[in-house]
A and B are shown apart, each in its own frame.
Chain A
Amino acid sequence: MKQSIPIQRIIIWIFLLGALVFIMAPMIFMISASFMPASDIVKMPYRWIPRGIHSENFVKAVAGNDGTYIFIRNLLNSLIVASVVSFTTVLISSLTGYSLSKFSYRGRDLLFLMIMATMMIPFEAIMIPLYMVVTKLGLQNSYQGLILPFLVNAFGVFMMRQYLITFPDEFIDAARVDGMSEFAIYRSIILPNTGPAIATLAILAFRSQWDNLLWPLLVAQTEQMKTIPLYIVKFTAEMHTDEGAMMAVNLLASIPMFVLFFALSKYFVSGAAVYSSRKG
């Protein structure tokens, strides 16, 4: 028994470090390649350490093919869209999740099921009718058009409902006895007590908008309204043989998410607990 412990430990560490190499190698590859001229990148064998810093890649990445520096505007657009969406998702999801878990009006469960069902339709299937809605509202090529279809999502509602189901009713009832209005209960009792769930949801919503490609592709028509994934796709199409510049764009586009990730890693990690800790 005592002998087996070091062996067990070694095996565990071999697995953990093997996984670490597999997961980190592509990330390190992106970083190291973004400092290399294209001719050094697809070369056998790959040299992980760049011979000096090829900063032209970053100049190209930011200035763009046409030197308009639209990258910065696109980055800003992504930040705006993702922040607004993550704000509204939290707000509406918590309100809806509260309603669906703590009230018992007729049709509540049906409504919940129907909202859940929307998770099962792939976006590719509804993009044309959705586009029609947005153009009819005259919102193509605007922030509203980019944001509106994502104000809230079924997963958010699901998560908040599951989280609030286990929220003790006594608190709510006590507040009602104290004469608090229903909205005040939501604002000062429900919202402050859903911290981890809200943080997770906000991060998930932010991430999914940061990642969104297909919808901005349809709606953002001018360069000024495009978002970062569109910039990457466009840049890649134009510069697809300049791998160094390509990787530089990818690296720059990932930095805001990484900053967020490191600043809020507590919520990335603890938030996941929300997911798993709900009782069966």
Chain B
Amino acid sequence: MSAPTLPSALVDATRDDASLRRFLHGLPGVDQVGVEARATALATRSIKKSSKLWAIDTAISMVDLTTLEGADTHGKVRALTAKARRPDPDRPDTPQVAAVCVYPDLVATAVEGLKGTGIGIASVATAFPSGRSSRQVKLADVALAVESGATEVDMVIDRGAFLEGRYGEVFEEIQAIREASGRAHLKVILETGELVTYDNVRRASWLALLAGGDFIKTSTGKVSPAATLPVTHVMLQAVRDWFTATGELRGVKPAGGIRTTKDAIKYLVAVHEVAGEQWLTPELFRFGASSLLNDLLLQRRTQHDGHYSGPDYVAVD
């Protein structure tokens, strides 16, 4: 765990509820107009040819291939794992995705489907997506996921407690889940669409980093707006500032609503220019997405073949 290496100022920040509040409210504000203007300007970077191909492969390797429906079945998860192993059967050089993300009760199926691949198994636990349940239920949810073999836990924070200013409670809960996750990587979902302001996004990001989250993640995908470029900018700044303060590298995962290669590349440019080159790896940046992968595969084929092949040439799973 990261706590012992923290500089004393950061340790002091989490001493009690009042210090936590003082610390979070003492973070520099985020100017809405400014951050949105910067996000728009960066989105105009032109990526073509070899750099585009590199970006597509990098993006594929960062995808958390996700299915989070009430109608999820073992069959659906098996299909997804098959796709994760071989995203494009005609092109064996296509990189594998980073992880497959499912509900806790389906983790075992995913484990079986991904045996021997090294692909991560992520599971949304903690009464996903609303997080509205008791601590015991959330911990039991995490236990189910971890015991079934999940290597990554995607938890949701208690947005109600956060908006009520009960930061200590949110902090403690993240810590408890961190503990319960054991060796699994912890991604903390802030659900930025419900936090609304960029100031809140920055505070929630720091709260999650202080409590030991390995990743901060924008959204569940169930609330609109999900991931946006400016929100991701703020979170990338948070991990960069965290790195400056502690020397530790933590990751960012935008999730929900990223469907096209064009969009994914805009995020990669932001990772590159806001956080820095060292974040351009699946260890530190992920896309939470389901339909993005197919567009990446189609664009990859287009780059290699010189023409567009059409949606029937990639698997629908």
A and B found bound together: no
